[in-house]
Amino acid sequence: MNIILLGPPGAGKGTQARHLVETRNMVQLSTGDMLREAKDSGTEMGNMVAGVMARGELVTDEIVIGLIREKLEGDNKGGFIFDGFPRTLEQADALGHLMSDEGKTLDAVIEMRVDDEALVDRITARSTCSGCGEVYNDNTKPIPENGKCTSCGQENLFTRRADDNEESLKTRLMAYYKQTSPLIGYYYAKEMLSSVNGLGTVEAVQGEIKSALET
């Protein structure tokens, strides 16, 4: 099964994708993670996109489609979770073509709905364990006092994303509403869309996604 998790920054796509990786043996394809990796390792492409990402704008379709193309080749029985891709109609069309070229199908698109105020609260309070990707929140799930990640047990690997600040979040939200939200209608028309309430607890959202994938 191949699925897209669609939603604004802070909707919880990464957290839910990690759960699906663990429980369903799926492979998470996060273009945001791929771009951050390129930036951190200082590749030519990484240096090119660094400023765009820091401002919260979208990098070019050509770059992200290229990244996804490389990952789709070959067998993957558990299926793919597209996390943060596609983000434009052009990317959605390209994904459709890439999948059919590989003899694969896109089975479901899950829209995660969260209101803007909650997104700002979540993002400005967010930190992540760079060892395993576990997400923490200063208010609702603070970093443990002993400095050990509750998920992988590694110490002091907590980081805050450079673009998790109010200024770039505004640009990221605007990019979502202008460029990405049309995909909701696009996949609705293709009869692939399910919507879940992204404001519930992590477990409640997991349950809603599970039901959506089983119908």
Is the CB of 148 or the CB of 157 nearer to ligand AMP?
Answer: 157
Asked if residues 178 and 95 have their Cβ atoms less than 8 Å apart, the reply is no
Kindly list the residues in this chain that would bind ligand AMP in the complex (CB under 6 A). Answer: 9, 31-32, 35, 52-53, 56-59, 64, 84-85, 87, 91, 163, 172
Q: Which residues are catalytic?
A: 13, 87, 126, 161, 172
Strands 108-113 and 126-129, by their bridges, are unpaired
Is the CB of 50 or the CB of 209 nearer to ligand AMP?
Answer: 50
The backbone torsions φ and ψ at residue 29, rounded to the nearest 5 degrees and listed phi first, read: -115, 95
Asked if residues 46 and 100 have their Cβ atoms less than 8 Å apart, the reply is no
- Residue 113 Cβ vs ligand AMP, minimum distance, rounded to whole Å: 17
- Residue 44 Cβ vs ligand AMP, minimum distance, rounded to whole Å: 17
On the 0-12 / 13-18 / 19+ scale of CB atoms within 10 A, 61 is middle
Is the CB of 148 or the CB of 184 nearer to ligand AMP?
Answer: 184
- Residue 108 Cβ vs ligand AMP, minimum distance, rounded to whole Å: 18
- Residue 17 Cβ vs ligand AMP, minimum distance, rounded to whole Å: 11
Is the CB of 24 or the CB of 161 nearer to ligand AMP?
Answer: 161
Which of 181-196 are b and which e, b meaning 16 or more Cβ less than 10 Å from the residue's Cβ?
Answer: bebbebbeeeeebbbb
Helices (H), 29-151: 31-40, 44-55, 61-72, 89-101, 116-124
- Residue 161 Cβ vs ligand AMP, minimum distance, rounded to whole Å: 8
Is the CB of 163 or the CB of 208 nearer to ligand AMP?
Answer: 163
Asked if residues 184 and 6 have their Cβ atoms less than 8 Å apart, the reply is yes
Residue nearest to ligand AMP (CB): 32
Rounded-to-integer distance, Cα 53 and Cα 32, Å? 9
